Amino acid sequence: MAFELIVMGGSWGGMRAMGTVLEALPVGFELPIVLAQHRSVTHGEPMLERVLGRGSKLEVVPATDKEPLAPGRVYVAPPDYHLLVEPGHLALSADAPVGFSRPSIDVLFESAAHSYGPRTVGVLLTGANQDGAAGLAGIAAAGGFTVAQDPATAERGEMPAAAIARGAVRRVLPLERIGPFLADLRSGIPR
């Protein structure tokens, strides 16, 4: 079965890590990518989108409610909103923080697992808590493909280590290999 969606999450050090992943993706990359990065509400300007967009060959945009998913576009969760994936589009929620986080990586990943199941690729990057571990396990349980940054290459390794400890990760990769790995997914799962 072909993949239709990539969801990615990060916290402490995530902006740099996400930038490294996105820089490696080629022009014409077909899958939509939906990102949740823990960030302060006071930094509500689209700074993250601008920073990620500078190095990416893909269009990086702030996610909006009910926005349709488009191939090769990167959607970034706005500060202080959960970002969910529904079949064919995005949804925003102001529900209570999960694990002190809004946006919550778990909320994003669990919605992707529910909506896209085995057609989902989940990527968990650097962070100093456990957000994303349960959601990545949900993607794995739904038959999706899961990737975690090697904690040794993470600015803070607690987040990917929590997912690895849960047995939710199919592939552990150093940061610099995640982007090329995702680029190769178009022709099936690379060895």
Catalytic residue chosen out of the listed positions 56, 106, 131, 150: 131
Which residue in 38, 104, 111, 115 is the catalytic one? 38
**114 carries an active-site annotation:** no
In Å, how far from its chain's centre is CA 172?
A: 15
Q: What is the amino acid identity at position 130?
A: Q
Is residue 51 within a helix (H) or strand (E), and if so which, with residue range?
helix 47-55
Annotated catalytic residue 131: yes
- Which residues are known to be catalytic? 11, 38, 131
